[in-house]
Copies of this chain bind each other. A is one copy, B any other.
Amino acid sequence: MAKTYIFGHKNPDTDAISSAIIMADFEKQTGNTEATPYRLGEVGAETQFALDYFKIDAPELLSDNLSDQKVILVDHNEFQQSADSIADAEIQHVVDHHRIANFETAAPLYYRAEPVGCTATILYKMYKERGFEISPEIAGLMISAIISDTLLFKSPTCTDEDVEAAEALKSIAKVDLEQYGLDFLKAGASTTDKSASELITMDAKSFNMGDNTTRIAQVNAVDIDEVFERKEELEKEMLTASAEEKYDLFVLVVTDILNSNSKILAVGSEKDKVGQAFDVELDNGTAFLPGVVSRKKQVVPQITDALS
């Protein structure tokens, strides 16, 4: 049996790493013994906390060329967020909770998308539908991914199904959602131990918007001001990355995970459009956005609209 490569997006967050591991477990239960999880980037501190807590190894970093290889994508579909050789792969299956764009296959495939808060929630439903066993480790990863993507159920992307899944899984994983959740989120929200370059890359995604390429990075923090003390340095790194990668706009979203607000920093030729997007006046490239925590629901559509 040929290997099936399973992975989430570049700059993987907890859902991208966890869903790859979970999907590989799911595939094995269907009889696909060669299902193997991979990752497309470094494991962040938040994800590492979950892997350590539930005693699971991180997936291997993908280095193989995927030309004509069997592939399953989780937590993403846009090719620019995927492996570099994705266009030549045989995509068998996608499980995702994002919009669909810049995605194409030559052959029919399985595709399961639902507008819920987290890919792991869809995977949870797939286990239930098939009557598959959910181990404590897999339950722990599902919970971690859900808490990460929904900021402990506070994000507007969070749905009843995400909450129901986490509630149903907590007894299998043997965790208290609130206490585990806060410890886990705080582990990923430490910013002082990271360079400016790390902060703008560790959870960054590119989006084609009209004729523009927009880069949007998000950083979780307990103290937003601590991050903005390094504004000059952050701006320089964002401008350098934009020059190298030809981004027309680079937006950094720093999210206060305790109070559910964000402050943004924008650079690039299209940065005036960001003020328009949120109906605010940028102050030296920055703006405070009360209640904004979701890149997917509260940032990407607004900037997409402003740019088109």
Binding site for B on A (CB under 8 A): 97-115, 129, 296, 301, 304
Q: Chain B nearest CB: distance from A308 CB in Å?
A: 9
* A105 with B111: CB separation less than 8 A: no
The residues of B that contact A106 with a CB separation of less than 8 Å are: 99, 301, 304
Q: How far apart sit A111 and B93, CA to CA, in the bound complex (Å)?
A: 12
Determine how close the nearest CB of chain B comes to the CB of A268; give it in whole angstroms: 21
Q: How far is the CA of A240 from the CA of B98 in the complex (A)?
A: 42
A112–B115 contact, CB under 8 A?
no
Grouping DSSP codes into helix (H, G, I), strand (E, B) and loop, the A interface class, with mixed when no group exceeds half, is loop
A8 to chain B, nearest CB (A): 16
Q: Are A104 and B105 in contact (CB under 8 A)?
A: no
With A100-B103, A103-B100, A129-B129 already in contact, the answer to whether A108 and B296 are too (CB < 8 A) is yes
B107 touches A113 (CB 8 A): no
Which residues of B are found within 8 Å of A115, using beta-carbon distances? 107-110
| B residues near A111, Cβ cutoff 8 Å | 100, 111-113
Set of chain B residues within 8 Å of A114, measured between Cβ atoms: 108, 110
- Contact partner of A98 (CB less than 8 A), chosen from B100, B101, B108, B113, is B108
Chosen A-B contacts, 9 in total, with CB atoms closer than 8 Å, are A98-B108, A100-B103, A100-B109, A106-B301, A108-B114, A108-B115, A109-B113, A110-B115, A112-B112
- In chain B, what residue has the closest Cβ to A98? B108
Is there an interface contact between A301 and B110, defined as CB atoms closer than 8 Å? no
Shortest C-beta distance, A209 to chain B (Å), equals 10
A190 CB to nearest chain B CB (Å): 30
Considering the complex, give the chain B residue whose CB is closest to the CB of A115: B108
A301 — which chain B residues lie within 8 A by C-beta? 106-107
